Chains A and B, each alone.
Chain A
Amino acid sequence: MAKYLKKDDLGSWLKELGETYKVIAPVEEGDAVVFRRLTDERTLRIDRQATQGPKGVLFPACEELVSFKYVKDPENPEKTKVEVKETVEAEPTLIFGARPCDARGFDVFDGAFTKCAVKDNYYMARREQAIVVSLACTKTETTCFCNWVGGSPDGTGGSDVLLTPVTGGYLVEAVTDKGEALMGGKLLSDADDARQAEAKKLLQEAKDSLREAPDFDCMPEQLYALFDNMDFWEKQSAKCISCGACTYLCPTCHCFNITDEQQGKEGSRIRSWDNCMSHMFTNEASGHNPRPTKAYRLKNRVGHKFCYFPDMHDGHIACVGCGRCIKSCPVALDIREVVTAAKECRLPEEETSDD
């Protein structure tokens, strides 16, 4: 049963939830809107897409994996021993105000980090304790293309609860059992038919405002076929300056680096977001690099999202169409144009197939 939350009660509702969960929500930070712990000093901003999605809540930009300490061996003072400690930390966390595309980003993370041979225990620990309360989009932006990649302004993938803005408040719907647990609060009343009808209408308008979706079923095959066509990739990547903004802001990019930091006798092994658009990403000690130029690296970024990941995860495309890479790219490289060009590119085999 859908519930209704009055706009004026949103703050109180989040405060109430704050007693059980660490509440993370989009807040103002300078010109940007970013996901931070909601406090009285911070201003909630849910009227526009956040500059950066909430992936850092479950996959921090930088986190300690293990800590280590060099100590004298008590039995043999000549020798040093290393004490190593793991540091998996997680607490009940509520992510509020993710957009449906952001929430679907967690679906991709679930695939990459939990549906595989060895699971990422750091991500899993946080994911299990997290509840995602998303906000459906009744307004879209020109860079939005969630509908191209299997999403929608009211998509529920990755969410536990979905809110839809209506006149005077929000329609509140549980998506999962986990989300069901939030439906009991006294600030929520049953939503009447008129409100439900209004939500439906607004969401339909949002859907209609998006550009028509091309059919991407052929993409894995098409991208494999284009793999050795470096002319194509050089053309597509010509503008790129390898800055990596696209990867850091992407809700599905999950590649990371592991590095050690040490001060005196103690230190940390740290995992941090990495960037496949950088030359160093695959550079080997010998100097050999399997992806020596930006053309190879863009090919892998697009290939991973539209070809390899779908191939490994039941056709699920690893781009959620949030458009952040388009908005943030300093040279206006548009992933929609790259995949559309890849889709439309006639392959040499086809050109010669009539004779």
Chain B
Amino acid sequence: MTKMKNPYLPEMATIQEIIQETHNIKTFRVTLNNEQSMKNFSFEPGQVGQLSVFGVGESTFVINSSPTRMDYLQFSVMAAGEVTQRLHTMQVGDEIGVRAPLGNWFPYEKMKGKDIVIVGGGIGMAPLRTLLLYMIDNRDDYGKITVIYGARTPQDLTYSYEFEEWRAAKDLNLVLTVDNEAPGWEHKVGLIPNVLLEESPSPDNTVAITCGPPIMIKFTLEALKKLGFEDENIYTTLEKRMKCGIGLCGRCNIGTSYVCVDGPVYSFAKLKTLPNEL
């Protein structure tokens, strides 16, 4: 009998720290229980993991820490249904299962030497954070970085405790926006695509990466096109309902492309070649 790694068997991990990001998003910092596994663990920015609460199920989350910082693996979880709500009740020291890394990643090699525009909305900032930290830790490899990050209200912005660190990076412009005026808010007010047009980053030698709710992605794409970005220089990450995460259960396909294996990161040029089924 062939002896092979069981792709369905989660590794056990322990929650080391929990951060309440917003009223419905918690960030979990976890380490794999097996020290050797943790030491050997490697992943690429943008890859995801399946987190297990045994007895409830598994769900997909992007690993939003950076491969350049391997003290822990970080996942930010928005309470949505069964698994996510149960995760929100868990405490430091509790054990969960992890199957990771899964899926593809941002083309961070191809992006070297280019200016970068990151446009994130709400929990959509999670996959962008891993990329951002990776670029900050390899700062000289990339040109100017513009980050446009928006949420409904100031309280809905994740990672706010880190904004200072992001801003401190060389040649990094962090633009924050919320939908409506709020007491004490000193940044932009307005929808993300409008703020993007206002900032008007040049498309020359620039790669744009966007992630957020579908409606935001739609209008952000229109804004990027208006600014002159080509489809092959715009990337996004897709969400599809997933189960196996390894291309077998047949749930996440768009035509022949399985989002769990061939995604979640797609260029708009690639998306245009796929059947229209988002």
Contacts and interface: CB of A to CB of B under 8 A. Distances in A.
Interface of A: 65-66, 68, 70, 79-82, 84, 86, 88, 90, 112-113, 116-122, 124-125, 128-129, 224, 227-228, 254-262, 267, 269, 271, 274, 276, 281-286, 288, 290-291, 296, 300, 303-304, 307-308, 311-312
B70 interface: no
B234 to A, nearest CB: 21
A269 B243 CA distance: 12
B275 interface: yes
B276 interface: yes
Interface of B: 1-2, 4-10, 12, 52, 54-58, 80-81, 84, 93-95, 97, 214, 239-241, 243-244, 246-251, 253-256, 261, 275-278
B247 A82 contact: no
A68 B58 CA distance: 14
Contact of B214 (A82, A259, A288): A288
B2 A282 contact: no
A255 B247 CA distance: 10
A116 B256 CA distance: 13
Given A121-B4, A256-B243, A79 B93 contact: yes
A86 B8 contact: yes
Given A118-B247, A282-B241, A288-B214, A260 B55 contact: yes
A283 B241 contact: yes
18 contacts: A66-B8, A81-B95, A82-B97, A86-B6, A118-B261, A124-B4, A125-B1, A128-B1, A128-B2, A129-B1, A228-B276, A256-B248, A256-B249, A274-B249, A274-B251, A300-B253, A300-B277, A308-B256
Contacts of A65: 8-9
B255 A90 contact: no
A112 B248 CA distance: 7
A27 B269 CA distance: 53
The interface centre, meaning the residue of A120, A254, A261 with most chain B CB atoms within 10 A of its CB, is A120
Nearest to A69: B54
Q: Is the interface of B mostly helix, strand, loop or mixed?
A: loop
A262 B55 contact: yes
A90 B214 CA distance: 44
Contact of B7 (A84, A118, A255): A118
Contact of B9 (A84, A112, A261, A288): A84
Contacts of A286: 80
Contacts of B248: 112-113, 116, 118, 120, 254, 256
Nearest to A303: B255
Contact of B54 (A269, A276, A290): A269
A256 B251 CA distance: 8
A267 B250 contact: no
Q: Which 4 A-B pairs have the closest CB atoms?
A: A255-B250, A262-B55, A285-B80, A118-B246
Contacts of A124: 2, 4
The interface centre, meaning the residue of A116, A121, A227 with most chain B CB atoms within 10 A of its CB, is A121
A318 B47 CA distance: 30
Given A117-B246, A255-B249, A269-B52, 10 more contacts: A70-B54, A119-B4, A120-B248, A121-B4, A125-B1, A125-B2, A255-B251, A262-B54, A271-B8, A285-B241
A285 B84 contact: yes
Nearest to A83: B12
A112 B52 CA distance: 25
A258 B57 contact: yes
Contact of A290 (B8, B10, B52, B277): B277
B247 A116 contact: yes
